[in-house]
Structure 1
């Protein structure tokens, strides 16, 4: 059933721990694939490092032991045939490891063994590393004893401890060590064979005819050949150490294809070519050492071999001993850094899956060396042949199943074409590889201990290889390959040469997609290491109703649903645990009996039979304890799982409550934030309303002032108009009357030229002649004056427009001229400046529908501002300077193509700056003094033009180049749209 786990939160301690584990300074990608960012070495460097690991002298020791025990012919053909098989097995392993940049454990996971199934192979691989570490360190300790007299027990300790700092920083330091020591090692290894062949030519024939302790002497014997092959087959696990370095190869590209393949072959399966030569070389040097007088027991020690070899190189025995010891030390350090490094990787993989924790590769490095030290102290070198013979069967079965999957199952599409190594996408057990290995190991070990006869015993290693190689494709075909992939990896759908990095939710480090997996427990992507260390998920991401686990499938098949699912699974787990414990205990008891008693000549047949019964009874008793331990393990595991499930439920419930409270808190915070926003919004609205109110009040005051001024002007004009009209109308009549009286006087003076004295005196006193001449002129002046008064009154009426409709078609030029006439006094010349020139550039305009009185206010504001600007500009300038550059206002009107009228009012003053120009239409903005302006004139004018007349109003100016105000209004107003306008700054008509 699919997990319903609530996405978990990561506590700080967990995140810090996983981030520390993810630090690859020391870890060297021990539990994951090697990313491109870490693979900085060239193909040659990686190959050289991997080949440096085959310097181990255990090869010579094995060759020496085999030639002493089985003779030349059996040893030679065992080395040749087994080496060919190892080479063939190494090709697919090396190729897939280098292609996917993974070590042998991760390769095993995805190639038929499953996530937990490969744990057994990690243990097998770890055993290989500490067994050979112990053998190599024992060889080095023997050399130190021979040269320095150091006791073997102390030599074992010394040879173990010096390896730790060399492996501490992983492959980075190992690369340098192998590079520096490679020339010395090669020179010292090859030199003895050259000198011995030259100085002792008969040594070759001695070797070819060497029989040792072999019953068949130097001739071939099938049974002895099989026994020798079994020991050599144990070296097949060395492929794992080669792969540990091959995973650091750069990606295969077109430009490095040959170099890449060369490194894969040379450092992968190619190691066995040099290894076979070293095996044969060990057999040769052993025969040489015996010919020089060394005992059969000591002749198989590499230090004794190379003492015999270097004796022909150096004449001085002291130099020979020193060089031989130096060679042994270099060789053993080169191989044991590889053994220790590979062992630390194997133990890390093994325990990380069992315990879901990873204290670090360095911990397992020390653990691996400690086991090797224990084996050395127990005398592993003396039982070399027996130990390797038993061990080789499991290693051969493992590699056989692995090779079959890579070389057969994948080409036949019985398994996925790629290697999936992440826990999130793998089943715990895959019967293809794990089942093949288990069956092949069991049958071959039974054959090895003599259960199936002499030939089966001799060829038990070939049985292990053949059975595993055959069963793997067979089981894959039977299971249809359904136990390879538990669920699809969504990241595999993205093909990108430079994929983006993915941040792990747990450790917060960045990884390539190949090293990341989607985890439904955290509802995010996590890295493969954090996935391995996750303990509480119980693989919920892979458990579905459609795809039961392997144990559930097995229980269903065996019990046919006759028992409850829980009881069925409990029985299967008990059986598996019991068989595992019984097998381990049986192998241990059998190993002790076979090699401690069965092969000893100290016991008679009767004593051996008696001891066999005792061992059998002991084993039966131990089986009882194994059954109790298995049952205890199953029940405790169930209790632990139930406790974890209960804790998980409580945790989920607690997390649910926390999330519910968090949602409530979030909702409360959202509501509080919303209320705060509403308060801020309402406050802003009130502030804006208050500002608008203040502006409106000021505008109303200004409008009221203009309205009052208009009413005053209209009233004065009306009051003046009546008497002026009366005077103007009667001046004409008065002129006629006076003209008649003047004619009468003239006629009287003609008819009566001699007037009485009193008349003459009066005529002279009033200067009648002057009156007769000046009176017509006086009447004409009065006529002109009354006409001027009438024009002024008419201009006042045009400006105020109070006696006309609010919106009507008018002549804009009349409004402009009337405004200029009112301001005529300010335009006249003064003692400080000449007259302000007015340039009228009127176009042919139609009558324009507008609010004439308000437009006249706009003209009044613009003209007044221009005059104020001139007065400010003229301060400090002399009269001649002003006369040379007179103040001028230009008024231009045009009819535009889109039925709009343009009115441009320009002056040649100082102009205004960009800063001021952007603010001229803002309310209360003014550059005048406090008593000279309110800053509302242009603001109100802007609203009259834009809002009232649906036009545009803009200012064009630059400092020193004057200012131009441009007004554009339509010739006819859309009164309906204007009535619907809801502008808060609308000017009332």
Structure 2
């Protein structure tokens, strides 16, 4: 399949029967509307031309966000350095462990987290719920990063905050339109400068003023606990765990990994681990740096300004650079960071919204509609000054995110590999899955519902700090319990997709053999197709999603 065909598949494959009354757009019209890269489907081998190192660098470039500095500073200034570092470590371990199986499945089978979620306990329509949660994650963090950039533009250029919010929003639109091709170049070229500007001030302060380390280590916080306090650690970890859904954005890049073979297995695994769950290592370091810089500038800037990354870095740069260079460099760092992460937020959010709406309405409106919708949500949050109540938003959101990610990770690790009640090869095609699988839906709903109630003190003040723990434990326990109770009956609606050729090749990678879809007249690789019961032909997954009459959907397998 040629690259030109690959680029326009998403737009031309709108679904519907050949005699659909709607005119089918030409390839040229579709390509002009927006350049896609397999928004709602399996990413074919013909499109995945990047090396593991390029994919990993691109994925890691997406975690250049400045929010970590604010999160670490906010936790530390409240609870003290000891509690904050412990909370950061606890959250990092949970995020790494739960992110590993998700990253592996995304890279191995070349599908995004929504497609993984469908076959990991939620069902075809059940995962719409988690897609909306993930989309919310992207615009919440877009708004957070946009707020940080607006603070930088106000300090450096004198722009009022409302105008800075607008600039931060509009700046990413030209970049996010072009998907993986443009994003890979952006992330690779900007990462070295970003790393230098982020790490340089820390190294300089530690080397030239050892007293900064002592002040950092001994800082006790404002909550008066002192020492390591369980409630403080869990409250801090809850805020950090709001980032657990970041694995979804990492997988949006990891799905473009090349096939894993005997020749590339070392670099393949290194890239998956580093850019998958490994993102949290850099994230945790950034949170600790944010706290270090906040303590360093606290006496000069005050507690409110100490949580603002632009103030943190201007304070650090001032110790090592001429005064005329301080603000420009800090603004450059903030702008680069904001662009690197917010093109990812806008891109991943548009995928999640498009996925949900296409399944519910059985129409494919095009990804750009949801790029703009996601940006509009983020702009509203910025104008509402979400930065001032950051920890409250993240603490609440983390309960939903934890319940979702732990449910899917548990289904993969326990239900697929230990209990063998969930099929190992992920399934995402309509007709192959039940509409709703109670395993994931019940586990997620119960875990998130109870933990949110705890977060809002419904079960007493003493239990409130334990809401993220409750979300994780309940999801971990209920997911295999529901699989055992239902005996795994609700994972697959049928096990045979009507195509004789195996889904995987000899190396266990998705087959690269391509076939034409008789609805949209485009060619797709084997994992993206299923047999059409109404015609002696095959139909692609997106045409199945948009089939309003269900003419092309395979019937359920006989229960006998």
Q: TM-score range by the shorter chain?
A: over 0.9
Q: Report the counterpart of residue 370 of structure 2 in structure 1.
A: 364
Superimposed CA distance per residue, residues 775-830 of structure 1 (whole angstroms, 9 cap, x where no aligned partner): xxxxxxxxxxxxxxxxxxxxxxxxxxxxxxxxxxxxxxxxxxxxxxxxxxxxxxxx
Contact 1:19 1:507 in 2 (8 A): no
What RMSD in Å do the two structures reach over aligned CA positions?
A: 2.0
Contact 2:120 2:426 in 1 (8 A): yes
Q: Report the counterpart of residue 479 of structure 1 in structure 2.
A: 486
TM-score, structure 2 length as denominator? 0.93
1:237 equivalent to 2:250? Answer no
Q: Report the counterpart of residue 892 of structure 1 in structure 2.
A: none
Deviation, 1:9, is 4.4
Q: Report the counterpart of residue 393 of structure 1 in structure 2.
A: 399
Larger Rg: 1
Contact 1:69 1:213 in 2 (8 A): yes
Inter-partner Cα distance in structure 2 for 1:44 and 1:500: 26
Higher RCO structure (Cα 8 Å, ≥6 apart): 2
Q: Report the counterpart of residue 508 of structure 1 in structure 2.
A: 521
In the TM superposition, 1:544-559 aligns within 5 A as 546=559
Deviation, 1:34, is 0.5
Residues 542, 228 of structure 1: CA spacing in aligned structure 2 closer, same or farther, 3 A cutoff? farther
Secondary structure at 1:117 match in 2: coil
Contact 1:18 1:507 in 2 (8 A): no
Contact 1:123 1:350 in 2 (8 A): yes
Residues 414, 545 of structure 1: CA spacing in aligned structure 2 closer, same or farther, 3 A cutoff? closer
Residues 43, 9 of structure 1: CA spacing in aligned structure 2 closer, same or farther, 3 A cutoff? closer
1:463 equivalent to 2:470? Answer yes
Which of 42, 52, 55 does residue 43 from structure 1 map onto?
52
Inter-partner Cα distance in structure 2 for 1:189 and 1:301: 14
Inter-partner Cα distance in structure 1 for 2:182 and 2:553: 40
Deviation, 1:414, is 1.1
Inter-partner Cα distance in structure 2 for 1:113 and 1:64: 37
Deviation, 1:70, is 1.6
Q: Report the counterpart of residue 201 of structure 1 in structure 2.
A: 210
Query: How many residue pairs were aligned?
Result: 538
Q: Report the counterpart of residue 279 of structure 1 in structure 2.
A: 287
1:374 equivalent to 2:387? Answer no
Q: Report the counterpart of residue 107 of structure 1 in structure 2.
A: 116
Deviation, 1:493, is 5.1
Contact 1:134 1:375 in 2 (8 A): yes
Contact 2:17 2:519 in 1 (8 A): no
Q: Report the counterpart of residue 271 of structure 2 in structure 1.
A: 263
Which of 82, 86, 102 does residue 95 from structure 2 map onto?
86
Residues 206, 177 of structure 1: CA spacing in aligned structure 2 closer, same or farther, 3 A cutoff? same
1:330 equivalent to 2:313? Answer no
Inter-partner Cα distance in structure 2 for 1:468 and 1:493: 37
Secondary structure at 1:450 match in 2: coil
Q: Report the counterpart of residue 11 of structure 2 in structure 1.
A: none
Residues 300, 492 of structure 1: CA spacing in aligned structure 2 closer, same or farther, 3 A cutoff? farther
Which of 398, 404, 425 does residue 418 from structure 1 map onto?
425
Residues 492, 118 of structure 1: CA spacing in aligned structure 2 closer, same or farther, 3 A cutoff? farther
Inter-partner Cα distance in structure 1 for 2:332 and 2:28: 42
Inter-partner Cα distance in structure 1 for 2:28 and 2:399: 39
Inter-partner Cα distance in structure 2 for 1:385 and 1:147: 26
Inter-partner Cα distance in structure 1 for 2:368 and 2:50: 23
In the TM superposition, 1:488-527 aligns within 5 A as 488=495, 489-491=497-499, 494=502, 496=505, 499-522=512-535, 524-527=537-540
Inter-partner Cα distance in structure 2 for 1:416 and 1:355: 28
Inter-partner Cα distance in structure 2 for 1:481 and 1:525: 28
Residues 282, 504 of structure 1: CA spacing in aligned structure 2 closer, same or farther, 3 A cutoff? same
Contact 2:404 2:444 in 1 (8 A): yes
Deviation, 1:492, is 6.8
Secondary structure at 1:518 match in 2: strand
1:137 equivalent to 2:146? Answer yes
Deviation, 1:25, is 6.6
Deviation, 1:223, is 1.3
Secondary structure at 1:26 match in 2: coil
Q: Report the counterpart of residue 627 of structure 1 in structure 2.
A: none
Contact 1:76 1:280 in 2 (8 A): yes
Q: Which runs of 5+ in 2 are unaligned?
A: 1-15
Residues 177, 499 of structure 1: CA spacing in aligned structure 2 closer, same or farther, 3 A cutoff? closer
Q: Report the counterpart of residue 960 of structure 1 in structure 2.
A: none
Contact 2:533 2:551 in 1 (8 A): no
